[in-house]
Chains A and B, each alone.
Chain A
Amino acid sequence: EVQLLESGGGLVQPGGSLRLSCAASGFVFSAYAMTWVRQAPGKGLEWVSGLSGSGERTYYGDSVKGRLTVSRDNSKNTLYLQMNSLRDEDTAVYYCAKERDDSGGYYIDFWGQGTLVTVSS
């Protein structure tokens, strides 16, 4: 059974930093690209960042480029999101998710339960 467990969320002041972690189990972690998706309170879903299985290729949404960095440690089956220069508008639940990209195209097939990041003074 695929399980994704996020941690590291919390309250941070504007301009501050935070690192989110996502512990994965139930599949061969290194074989799959992973992604982060966020959801501001009462709002829709926003794709934030993606990372290939090897960690060599990264992708970022325009709103977070230069401030958020995605990485992974395949020996620990863990995905990370380093968040710097945080802004009020970064307040959201951050979901870790597993990607699929095959003959059926690209999609997210499993999601974690999310971790809340609140940026406020």
Chain B
Amino acid sequence: QSVLTQPPSASGTPGQRVTISCSGSSSNIGSNYVNWYQQLPGAAPKLLIHSNSQRPSGVPDRFSGSKSGTSASLAISGLQSGDEADYYCAAWDDSLNGYVFGTGTKVTVL
């Protein structure tokens, strides 16, 4: 039972920009950093963005994250076929005292 809400799907053509939203509450996104994970088909998740907007080494700058209030977003610019994957937002929840994930968004490159 996810407490962070994401749209189930998003799509775009190669080269386009796609944005994924993540909606939470004051106990999670509103008071803690947001992180994003990419899960390619058949693979384990991989850290894409941490601390709202920081990219780990090796992640292209086509991926960017932002946060405002109790919502966050992930933007993918210059969309590529290799970006087809499921994307999850996540944050620590102070009320649940646990890490909560978003519902996940499947990105399709048309």
Is there contact, CB below 8 Å, between A105 and B44?
no
The A-contacting residues of B in range 54-82, CB under 8 angstroms, are 54, 56
Given A104-B50, A105-B32, A105-B51: A44 and B2 within 8 A (CB)?
A: yes
B32 touches A109 (CB 8 A): no
Could you tell me the distance between the alpha carbons of A47 and B2 in the complex, rounded to whole angstroms?
10
Which residues from A are CB-within-8-Å of B102? Answer: 44
Residues of B within 8 A of A109 (CB): 47, 50, 56
Q: Does B35 belong to the interface (CB within 8 Å)?
A: yes
Pick from B39, B90, B103: contact of A107, CB below 8 A.
Answer: B90
Mask, B1-44, CB within 8 Å of A = 1, is 11000000000000000000000000000001101010100001
Which chain A residues in 26-84 approach chain B with CB under 8 Å? Answer: 35, 37, 44-47, 50, 59-63
A89 to chain B, nearest CB (A): 11
Q: In the bound complex, do residue A59 and residue B98 qualify as a contact, i.e. CB atoms below 8 Å apart? A: yes
| Chain A interface helix/strand/loop/mixed | strand
What sequence of 0s and 1s flags, for each residue 81-110 of chain B, a beta carbon within 8 Å of any chain A beta carbon? 000000010101000111111111000000
Residues of B within 8 A of A60 (CB): 98
Given A44-B2, A109-B56; A100-B44 close (CB under 8 Å): no
Checking A47, A62, A63, A104 against B99 with a beta-carbon cut-off of 8 angstroms, the contacting residue is A47
Judged by a CB distance under 8 angstroms, whether A112 is at the interface is: yes
Q: Contact between A111 and B50 (Cβ–Cβ < 8 Å)?
A: no
Determine which of B2, B33, B37, B104 lies in contact with A104 in the assembled complex, contact meaning CB atoms within 8 Å.
B33
Interface string of A88-121 (1 = CB under 8 A from B): 0000000100001000111111111110000000
